[in-house]
């Protein structure tokens, strides 16, 4: 098995106050919404995200390896009446 560097970019909207992401149980530190991790390939992985903000807040996430987009999270939203959101998405590397 080889490893590939995957770079994640989180794009929150104005109402998101804080956010965190992980792949499997590995937390990914982010600076200005960007962070990288080395992942084993070929293998499937799970992207997990958490965020805090006002109801209706949303964010997008992309995970890229080189020029390939491996995973995209589109418009993940905090439900009405809530202040926290989370989600999961599988991707193949």
Partner 1 sequence: MQKIILPVIACILLLINNGGFAEEVGSPMSVKATRSTAQDNPVQSPQVNSPQPFAGSTPLLYSELFLSGIGNSVVGTAIETTGTAFEINAMKDSSSALLRIGRDFSFSSEEGLAEFSTWSITAAAPINKKDDFTALATWDGLANSFRLTLRASNFVVAGKRNPFSADPQELPRRLSELCALAGIDVDKGDQCDTGKV
Binding interface with partner 1 (CB under 8 A): 10-27, 29-33, 35, 43-46, 48-50, 52-54, 58, 71, 73-92
Nearer to partner 1, 67 or 93 (CB): 93
Angle (CA) 70 34 58, round 5°? 80
Q: Is 13 helix (H, G, I), strand (E, B) or coil?
A: coil
Q: How far is the CB of 67 from partner 1 (least distance, A)?
A: 17
Q: How far is the CB of 88 from partner 1 (least distance, A)?
A: 5
The DSSP bridge pattern shows strands 34-41 and 68-77 to be: unpaired
């Amino acid at each position: 098995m080889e490893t590939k560097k995957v770079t994640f970019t989180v794009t929150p909207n104005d109402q998101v106050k804080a956010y965190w992401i992980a792949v499997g149980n590995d937390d990914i530190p982010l600076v200005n919404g960007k962070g990288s991790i080395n992942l084993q390939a070929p293998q499937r992985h799970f992207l997990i995200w958490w965020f805090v903000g006002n109801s209706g807040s949303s964010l997008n996430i992309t995970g890229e390896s080189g020029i390939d987009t491996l995973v995209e999270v589109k418009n993940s939203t905090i439900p009405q009446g809530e202040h926290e959101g989370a989600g999961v998405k599988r991707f193949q590397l």
